[in-house]
């Protein structure tokens, strides 16, 4: 069986795993009462977690590259 358009992993990542995150963001922006300080705090925490995850993975990738593929 071949998947012509979208692989099943895409559905899992963006649908099942991303659904709580999408709900959280919609709650921050569309929920009532609106507190912009909570929205900014939540977005900054989320952004810092994502950036630290990607930054750490990049640093680990560069370390692995330097150790195993230097030459």
- The stretch 12-26 carries a mean pLDDT of 87
Into how many domains does the chain fold?
2
pLDDT at 71: 61
Q: Which of 7, 21, 68 is nearest to 49 (CA)?
A: 21
Task: Compute the distance between CA of residue 61 and CA of residue 63 in angstroms, rounded to an integer.
Answer: 5
18 in the same domain as 43:
no
Domain co-membership, 22 together with 40: no
- Split at pLDDT 50, 70, 90, the class of 49 is very high
Q: Average the pLDDT over 20-43 and give the result.
A: 88
Q: Are residues 23 and 49 in the same domain?
A: no
The region that residue 6 occupies, defined by phi over 0 for left and psi between -120 and 50 for alpha, beta otherwise, is beta
The answer on pLDDT for 69 being more than 80 is: yes
3-state secondary structure of 32: coil
Q: Does 70 share its domain with 41?
A: yes
Q: How far apart are CA 47 and CA 19, in angstroms?
A: 17
- With cut-offs at 50, 70 and 90, classify the pLDDT of residue 56: very high
- Please check whether residues 10 and 23 belong to one and the same domain: yes
Task: Please tell me which residue, 53 or 38, carries the higher pLDDT value.
Answer: 53
Q: Which domain holds residue 41?
A: 36-71
């Amino acid at each position: 069986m071949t998947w012509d358009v979208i692989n099943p992993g895409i559905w899992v990542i963006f649908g099942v795993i991303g659904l709580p995150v999408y709900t959280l963001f919609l709650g921050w922006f569309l929920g009532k009462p609106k507190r912009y300080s909570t929205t900014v705090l939540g977005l900054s925490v989320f952004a810092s977690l994502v950036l630290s995850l990607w930054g750490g993975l990049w640093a680990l990738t560069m370390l692995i590259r330097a150790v195993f593929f230097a030459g």
